[in-house]
Homo-oligomer: A and B are copies of this chain.
Amino acid sequence: MIDKSKKQISEKHQRILDAAIEMFAEKGYASTSTSEIAKKAEVAEGTIFRHYKTKKDLLLSIVSPTIATFIAPHFTKAFSKEVLQGDYASYEEFLRTFAYNRYEFLKQNLPIIKIFVQEVAFHEEFQKPYVKLFKKEILPYFKKMILHFQEKGELKQLPPETIMRFTVTTIAGTILTKQFIAKELDFEKELDEAILFLMGGLKQ
């Protein structure tokens, strides 16, 4: 999923990264030993330390400022362009695109996202770059979109941040429910209802 294809990265190096991501996601950082990673990546244990000075460095290379600056923006900007800067006939149409996009993103990046939740979420020092990224790449476009539909009279005259909060909360709740709590649900139907509900609360 994540590949630093720009920087030439050796095949073994890539195998180490893949193995680490998979195991950190599955068992957590602290419960994964470097020898397990080496075994799964089919390299010698020493090879890991040729590429990363410490085990923590390996985690950071997956999860840290480096990714925030090099990898995440890739996703972030793509998301921003494809979703937030799109041309939508209605807020509902935007919501649908937004929800599907994030749902796919979640499904396709589950391992890294799990690592994030486990290792980053509770360590405030890691959060800053992401907050920054969000404020720069997401927030302004999201706001603009909301203002646009407020002007068109589709949305209530609430502060855009509040509308955004309810939007994100409701969509995230729908996606997470489908993914983790009630997998048997029909996502499309569920989403339709959620959008209906959302618009009910946000309509003028």
Residues of chain A having any CB pair with chain B under 8 Å = 28, 30-31, 114, 117-118, 121-122, 158, 162, 165-166, 168-170, 172-174, 177, 193-194, 196-203
Q: How far is the CA of A122 from the CA of B115 in the complex (A)?
A: 11
Contact of A200 among B28, B122, B172, B203 (CB under 8 A): B203
Of all chain B residues, which has the CB nearest A161? B182
Chain B contacts of A121 at CB under 8 A? 117
A-B CB proximity, top 10 nearest: A169-B173, A30-B30, A201-B201, A200-B201, A197-B201, A30-B31, A166-B197, A200-B200, A162-B193, A28-B30
Q: How far is the CA of A62 from the CA of B198 in the complex (A)?
A: 38
At the interface, is chain A mostly helix, strand, loop or mixed? helix
A158 contacts B193, CB within 8 Å?
Answer: yes
Of all chain B residues, which has the CB nearest A159? B193
B202 contacts A197, CB within 8 Å?
Answer: yes
User: Nearest Cβ distance between residue A122 and chain B, in whole angstroms?
Assistant: 6
A177 contacts B200, CB within 8 Å?
Answer: no
Contact of A170 among B170, B199, B203 (CB under 8 A): B170
User: Nearest Cβ distance between residue A26 and chain B, in whole angstroms?
Assistant: 8
Q: How far is the CA of A117 from the CA of B114 in the complex (A)?
A: 11
Q: How far is the CA of A135 from the CA of B183 in the complex (A)?
A: 17
